[in-house]
Amino acid sequence: MRCLFVNQEVSEVPLRGVERISLSHYRCYESFSLSLDTRPVVMTGPNGAGKTNLLEALSFLIPGRGFRRARFSDIRQQGSVEPWAISVSLKDEGEGIRIGTGLDPDNPESESRITRINGEKVKSQSALAEWVSIVWLTPQMDRLFLEGSQGRRRFLDRLVYGFDAAHAQRLNRYEKALRERSLLLRQGCADPYWLEGVEEALVNEGIAITEARLKVVGQLTAVLTTYEGPFPQADLFLRGDLEKQLDEKSMTDVEKAFRRHLATSREQDRLSGRLSYGPHRSDLHVIFTEKGHEAGLCSTGEQKALLLSIVMASAQLLAVRTDAIPLLLMDEVVAHLDEIRRSALFDAILKLKIQAWLTGTDPSLFKEMQGDAQFLSLEGARLVSIT
Ligand SMILES: Nc1ncnc2c1ncn2[C@@H]1O[C@H](COP(=O)(O)OP(=O)(O)OP(=O)(O)O)[C@@H](O)[C@H]1O
Ligand SMILES: [Mg+2]
């Protein structure tokens, strides 16, 4: 039997992870600081203790709006006028990394955040993907297979950031070009070269986005179809306009077809206000191998198990990367697992040597991790104990 989401290369990877986190005016935390080592972290406490808020703060170590996709004005501690801020020190093979992110004190009403890496302000938060890779599983993701394709694209793109730091920038450029084309068509752009330039960006970025996604889907599928253990096997497919073309045609023909589509659909897209072709319409399909069903048709429990399989397969692939520090955030995952899967999850986390952050209200569910993980107890946004 194959190991549980683990491959041999992991033993050569150094211990890495968060060593210190400080929060200021961040949700329930007015001022909070915590020092740790690189072992996994088990965070327990009653409802409302601040467990999810702390995990959410860590989710800002990669590009995006955090795992709740909250408005930044909701993150600011209620009743406070101060901007929220997160500061994290991470251990890596070298001298370590310091990341600071939060609202700009000079522009506290803004919905964009500023980020500093080792004290240097970076131009775009896309730079974070070069330093940290995160995979998370939260209760909000329970409906991932039932809701629209956007959530699944976002899920996949976040996984891709972990393997390909340029992906976040690629997506930004693609989305900017989409908005620009739409505006030019609406305004009746008189300069054909301008429009062609924007469409050329859509072709180049669109194909690069699709290729990066396909590569990660292929890597995950290779892990998930050969895995043997208590989590389900799965097959992943990415379906969309470009995926189909890339499968059948040469790169030059795919580019030509995309260019032709853009040139001939201008009038239709001006009327509809959107482009009906490209990677912003792709969808990630997940098949539960044992039954041959699409994930959306599986039972609630099967869907949760499938998600856990994908997340752990991603963690396995990220764990062997040496350039970005991998973290695994799991909010309220353990309480829903039976004993066999719980043990298998703990075993995989320890073998992967990844700093996983696990939350729950009941510390007894984590007793198998005693000695191998750090146990934090929180109450009322305060640290009660750390062992
Ligand atoms: N902007 C904010 N300002 C102040 N408090 C906030 C803000 N946003 C959320 N909170 C509060 O933070 C508290 C902790 O929330 P959190 O989601 O972290 O709890 P939790 O420990 O995960 O609880 P549960 O076990 O129920 O999931 C809640 O009481 C919530 O109302
Ligand atoms: Mg919570």
Residue nearest to atom 12 of ligand 1 (CA): 28
- The confidence score (pLDDT) of residue 1 equals 30
* Position 358 pLDDT exceeds 80: yes
Residue nearest to atom 5 of ligand 1 (CA): 28
11 versus 47: which is more confidently predicted? 47
- The confidence score (pLDDT) of residue 109 equals 80
Residue nearest to atom 17 of ligand 1 (CA): 52
Ligand nearest to the CA of 50: 1
* Position 351 pLDDT exceeds 50: yes
Tell me the two tokens of residue 167. Answer: 């992906």
d(CA 62, CA 339): 32
* Position 230 pLDDT exceeds 90: yes
d(CA 99, CA 314): 23
Residue 283 alpha carbon to ligand 2 centre in Å: 29
Confidence of residue 7 (pLDDT cuts 50, 70, 90): low
- The confidence score (pLDDT) of residue 321 equals 81
Q: Which residues contact 254 (CB under 8 A, 6 or more apart)?
A: 207, 242, 245, 246
Closest CA to 304 of 179, 100, 145, 158: 145
Residue 347 alpha carbon to ligand 1 centre in Å: 30
pTM of the full structure: 0.95
Tell me the two tokens of residue 38. Answer: 């690189």
**Atom of ligand 1 lying closest to residue 45 CA:** 21
- Which of 51, 53, 329 has the most ligand 1 atoms within 8 A of CB, as the residue to mutate? 53
| β-bridge mates for residue 43, sequence order | 359, 376
- The confidence score (pLDDT) of residue 2 equals 46
13 versus 55: which is more confidently predicted? 55
Q: Which residues form the pocket of ligand 1, taking CB atoms under 6 Å from any ligand atom?
A: 27-28, 45, 47-53, 74-78, 361
Ligand nearest to the CA of 381: 1
Residue nearest to atom 2 of ligand 1 (CA): 27
pLDDT in tens, 36-86: 999 999 999 999 999 999 999 999 999 999 999 999 989 999 999 899 999
Q: Which residues contact 308 (CB under 8 A, 6 or more apart)?
A: 137, 231, 333, 337, 341, 345
Residue 320 alpha carbon to ligand 2 centre in Å: 29
3-state secondary structure of 285: strand
Find the mean pLDDT for residues 227-240.
94
Residue 112 alpha carbon to ligand 1 centre in Å: 22
- The confidence score (pLDDT) of residue 3 equals 44
Residue 20 alpha carbon to ligand 1 centre in Å: 21
Find the mean pLDDT for residues 319-330.
91
Tell me the two tokens of residue 135. Answer: 């995979």
Residue nearest to atom 30 of ligand 1 (CA): 48
Residue nearest to atom 24 of ligand 1 (CA): 47
- The confidence score (pLDDT) of residue 15 equals 86
- The confidence score (pLDDT) of residue 5 equals 55
**Domains of the chain (ranges plus CATH)?**
1-145+301-387 (3.40.50.300), 150-297 (1.20.1050.90)
Residue 98 alpha carbon to ligand 1 centre in Å: 26
Residue 51 alpha carbon to ligand 2 centre in Å: 6
Residue nearest to atom 27 of ligand 1 (CA): 47
Measured between alpha carbons, how far is residue 146 from residues 63, 85, 142, 297, 300 in Å? 25, 34, 9, 9, 10
pLDDT in tens, 127-183: 999 999 999 999 999 999 999 999 999 999 999 999 999 999 999 999 999 999 999
- The confidence score (pLDDT) of residue 73 equals 87
- The confidence score (pLDDT) of residue 12 equals 63
**Atom of ligand 1 lying closest to residue 54 CA:** 18
